[in-house]
Structures are given as C-alpha cells and as structure tokens.
A and B are shown apart, each in its own frame.
Chain A
Amino acid sequence: GAVVSQHPSRVICKSGTSVKIECRSLDFQATTMFWYRQFPKQSLMLMATSNEGSKATYEQGVEKDKFLINHASLTLSTLTVTSAHPEDSSFYICSALASGADLRTEAFFGQGTRLTVV
C-alpha cells in the first residue's frame, strides 16, 4: 500500500519554542492531507485539512496561528506548533489522500509524532 512518512517520530522541546512536523507521501501525490491530534487513550481529533497550494481549513476550536500548516507540494505538508506549551504535548498524526481519490477509498496514515513540551 501507499506509504506516508511522518518525521520526527518523537520530539521534546522547551516551552516557548516552535516545532515543525513533516508529513510526506512517498509513492503517490496527495492533494489533500489531514492533521489529527490524539490525547492519551482517546480517539483522533481532526485539527485541519490542508490542500496543496491553498490555505488549510481548521476545525472549530483549533487555533490557526498556533498550529501553522503548509502544504507547498503534492508530497509534503508540514505542521508547525508555534510557541509550544506543555498542554500542546500530544500525539500528532497526519494522513494523506491520493490525488483523484476520496475518503470513501482510503486515507493513508503516517506513523505519528509524539510531542513533549517541557
């Protein structure tokens, strides 16, 4: 199946700094990518939908200035957590939708990034 690579898998940063997480589709082009946040022992919460070459669409309650999303190419989307605080510590997962496909087929998920803010 298609591969989505997420990097880094784990990151520890100091409070107040920014962290960038990359999501790459390795063997297909992804017009649309999704970013999720998962708290311990909870389900995935959609944060935003990013479309290549346009602004991301954020879910209600997600601060767009804090969670910056850039989808500059058909194979790369980045999530930057700006001025991170301990409450931003979480597991972040991206998924990618192949160009021309829709969610009724399959979205491919990255392996996730464990962010710890100290």
Chain B
Amino acid sequence: AQSVTQLDSHVSVSEGTPVLLRCNYSSSYSPSLFWYVQHPNKGLQLLLKYTSAATLVKGINGFEAEFKKSETSFHLTKPSAHMSDAAEYFCVTFSGGYNKLIFGAGTRLAVHP
C-alpha cells in the first residue's frame, strides 16, 4: 500500500539559510507525490507535485523537490528560508486504489531571525 513518512516532526532554521524537509515514500508503482503547506488555522496550499514527469519539480515560493526512485525519497528544499515560510508542511501521496490522498504526519518548520 502507498504511504509517506516524514522523517522530521520539527525543523528549525535561521532566516536566509537552506531548508530541507525530508519525505520517504512507499509504493508498488510510480507514485504521485505532493507537498502542501498549512499556515496556522488555515487550509492547505499546494507547493508542488510530482506525477512521473521531470524528477526535479519546481514549486511556488522558491521551493523545489527531487524525486529519487533509488532512495524512495521526495525531499522538499529551498535555498534561503524566509520568515513567512514558518508553517506546517505535509508530504502527500495518492492512493489510486482507494481514490484518496494519504498524508504524512507533517513537519513543522520554524524560521528564526
């Protein structure tokens, strides 16, 4: 069955430094993978998605993620963190068999001045 595992529940970085949020997936076939961001008491916004096209996916707000089949990973990165990036980030996959999204546990990103 498809699943995603977010390896860090909390990540803390300084403003202007790189961001790395880690996600590993488990799938019996080529998965669809997404990263969503949630600001406090808000809904979810799609950052980027991978659907078997280019392995390096560029998203909004300077974020990007690389699909690595050999490592079963889809880590989210950003070269330089901004204060406004502080939020909860979810790695998500699609369960084709059940027609529903499967969410990781989430990673809370804190950005310090």
Query: Chain B residues with Cβ under 8 A from A49's Cβ?
Result: 99-100
Cross-chain contact of A93 among B32, B44, B49, B51 (Cβ < 8 A): B44
Cβ-based interface call for B101 (8 A) = yes
Cβ-based interface call for B94 (8 A) = yes
- A window 83-105: CB within 8 A of B: 91, 93, 95, 102-105
Interface residues on B, range: 20 to 34
Cross-chain contact of A103 among B36, B42, B101, B103 (Cβ < 8 A): B101
Cross-chain contact of B43 among A103, A105, A109 (Cβ < 8 A): A109
Q: Number of residue pairs across A and B with beta carbons under 8 Å?
A: 52
Once the chains bind, are A111 and B42 in contact (CB under 8 Å)?
A: yes
Cβ-based interface call for A42 (8 A) = yes
Using A43-B104, A109-B43, A112-B42 as known contacts, say yes or no to A103 and B51 having CB atoms under 8 A apart.
Answer: no
CB distance from B42 to the nearest CB of A (A): 6
Once the chains bind, are B100 and A109 in contact (CB under 8 Å)?
A: no
Give 15 A-B pairs besides A34-B100, A42-B105, A109-B43 with Cβ atoms closer than 8 angstroms.
A6-B43, A34-B101, A43-B106, A91-B41, A95-B101, A103-B94, A103-B99, A104-B51, A104-B94, A104-B96, A110-B43, A111-B42, A111-B43, A112-B41, A114-B41
